[in-house]
Amino acid sequence: MAETRTWKFQVRGETFKGETVCVTGDCDTLGNWSHDKVFPLARDNEDEDGDEHVWSGVTKLPLNRDIEYRYVICVIVEPDDHKIHQRQFIVRRWETNIKPRVIKKKAPSNACAGTKMEPEVLGFYDNKEKIERGWLTTETAIQLKLFNNHLQIWKAKLKGRPIYVKVTPINLARSNGVTQDQHGEDCLSLETMDLTDKSECWPLVEISVMNQGEREFRFQEQFGRAFNDGDFVVFQILVHCLESVAILVDFYSYAPRAVEGEPPVHIGFSYILPSVLKGSEGQAVVPITSVRHRPIGQITVEFLIVKPIANSPCNLKSSLQRLWKESWRGLDVGHRGVGTSFKGDIRQCAEVRENTIASLKSAASHGADFVEFDVQLSKDLVPVLYHDFYVAIAMRRKKQVAPEEMIQLPVKDLSLAQLHLLKLYHVTEFGGSVKFSDEDLEEHQPFPTLQQALEILDSSVGFNIEIKWTMQLKDGTYEFYHPFDLNLYLDTVLEVVLQYGGSRNIVFSCFHPDICSMIRLKQNKYPVMFLTQGITDKYPAYHDPRCQNVPMAVHFALNMGILGINVHTEDLLRDSSQVTLVKRAGLVLFCWGDDNNDTATIKHLKDLGIHAVIYDKIDQYSNKEVKESIFRLEARESERLAIRAVAERASVDEYLTPEMQKPEIVSEN
Lowest mean pLDDT among 79-93, 116-130, 283-297, 574-588: 79-93
Q: Where are the domains of the chain?
A: 4-133, 140-306, 331-628, 630-663
Lowest mean pLDDT among 113-122, 548-557, 581-590: 113-122
Q: How confident is the model at residue 52 (pLDDT cuts 50, 70, 90)?
A: confident
The enclosing H or E element of 359 equals helix 357-365
In this structure, are residues 525 and 316 in contact, taking their beta carbons and an 8 Å threshold?
A: no
Lowest mean pLDDT among 134-138, 175-179, 369-373: 175-179
Beta bridge partners of 385: 375
Distance CA 245, CA 249 (A): 13
CATH topology of domain 140-306: Immunoglobulin-like (2.60.40)
Q: Is the peptide bond before 308 cis (omega within 30 degrees of 0)?
A: no
Lowest mean pLDDT among 161-175, 210-224, 398-412, 462-476: 398-412
Instruction: For 220-261, give the secondary structure using H, E and C.
Output: CCCCCEEECCCCEEEEEEEECCHHHEEEEEEEEECCCCCCCC
Whole-Å CA distances, 133 to 99, 120, 206, 345, 515? 18, 20, 13, 46, 18
CB atoms inside a 10 Å sphere around CB 655: 7
With CA atoms as reference, report the closest residue to 39 among 53, 56, 51, 54: 56
Q: How confident is the model at residue 407 (pLDDT cuts 50, 70, 90)?
A: confident
Q: What is the pLDDT of residues 363-380, one digit of tens each?
A: 999 999 999 999 999 999
Phi, psi angles (nearest 5°) of residue 52? -75, -5
The single-letter code of the amino acid at 443 is E
Would you say the CATH fold of 331-628 matches that of 4-133?
A: no
In this structure, are residues 79 and 85 in contact, taking their beta carbons and an 8 Å threshold?
A: yes
Task: Tell me which CATH homologous superfamily contains domain 4-133.
Answer: Immunoglobulins (2.60.40.10)
- Pick one of 3.20.20.190, 2.40.50.100, 3.20.20.80, 3.40.605.10 as the CATH number of 331-628: 3.20.20.190
What's this model's pTM, rounded to 2 decimal places? Answer: 0.90
Determine the length of the chain. Answer: 669
Q: What is the pLDDT of residues 421-457, one digit of tens each?
A: 887 777 776 544 555 656 668 899 999 999 999 999 9
The enclosing H or E element of 507 equals strand 506-510
Task: Tell me the pLDDT of the chain averaged across its residues.
Answer: 88
With CA atoms as reference, report the closest residue to 566 among 541, 600, 589: 589
Number of H helices, E strands in the chain: 14, 35
Distance CA 663, CA 650 (A): 15
In this structure, are residues 404 and 396 in contact, taking their beta carbons and an 8 Å threshold?
A: yes
With CA atoms as reference, report the closest residue to 493 among 508, 513, 514: 508
Beta bridge partners of 506: 463
